[in-house]
Amino acid sequence: MLLTIDVGNTNITMGIFKDEEIIAHFRLATVHERSMDEYGVLFVNFLLHRGIAVADIGGVIIASVVPEVMYSLERAVRNYIGKTPHVVKRHMVDMEVKIDNPAELGADRLINAYAAKFIYGAPLIIVDFGTATTFCTISAKGEYLGGAICPGIKISLDALFSKTSKLPRVEIRRPEKVIGTNTVGSMQSGILYGYVGQVNFIVEKIKEEMGERDVKVIATGGLSNLINAETDIFHAVDKLLTLKGLKKLYDEKFKN
């Protein structure tokens, strides 16, 4: 079995693959202060809760955009899982990156592009609803062209709560109507439909610049289903896209 780990700014997502099937996945908060032992116990408990023995794990691969947690995380994998993890680096991924400085490209965006190209074919636009909302563009030739980065939905709600004196912290959900008749409903409407409009507009502008109308648009990330319910712009919603990309990379580069 393969343990895949996607380390994001808000959450660490783990997935277990048995052959080609993902049989379990799990998410925990990204906490910079968490120790090696804390990560190790969480990993082992995750496996045991799903009936998986630590000895069944044959390999581990990690993509991370949070360097601060990697020392404890890698040591936890070595000491509690008994494997040396493969950590994704730019040179491992067979994809031409056309941005000004390829070293700036986050491992998650690179792996998403790599996975989506393989699963869905190019040209592509990948919209990832994570801590930030990112747009990644893949040409018909399979090149990574660049994209756009916006504040994520949760960041925007947190900003409304923390930077205003009377607006409350609210749940991210679809309101009963667009015209809110109370503060909570108005905030939910503004956030949800504001992001739907943002996504639709940016995707259309990207298509114009690409000169491609038959571009597949793939949504991923924790809030992708919420946005997808309000637009028909997405070809597919694939919330485990990064984990699938890690599995493919491991099979190509590291599997014996």
Contact present, 12 and 6 (Cβ < 8 Å): yes
pLDDT of residue 68: 95
Rounded to whole angstroms, how far apart are CA atoms 156 and 154? 5
As a whole-number percent, the residues of the chain with pLDDT over 70 amount to 100
Q: Which residue numbers are catalytic?
A: 108
- Taken in order of first residue, the domains within the chain and their CATH numbers are 2-87 (3.30.420.40), 90-244 (3.30.420.40)
pTM metric for this prediction:
0.88
Contact present, 5 and 42 (Cβ < 8 Å): no
Question: Residue 136 contacts by C-beta under 8 Å, 6 or more apart in sequence?
Answer: 109, 112, 113, 124, 125, 126, 128, 144, 146, 147
Low-confidence ranges of the chain (pLDDT < 50): none
User: Mean pLDDT across the chain, nearest whole number?
Assistant: 91
Tokens of 89: 């680096």
pLDDT of residue 24: 92
Q: Which of 169, 171, 188, 170 is nearest to 179 (CA)?
A: 188
Can you say how many angstroms the Cα of residue 78 is from the centroid of all Cα atoms in its chain? Answer: 24
Tokens of 186: 């108005």
pLDDT of residue 85: 96
Residue 76 exposure: Cα atoms within 13 Å on the Cβ side: 19
pLDDT digits (tens, 9 = 90+) for 162-173: 777 777 777 777
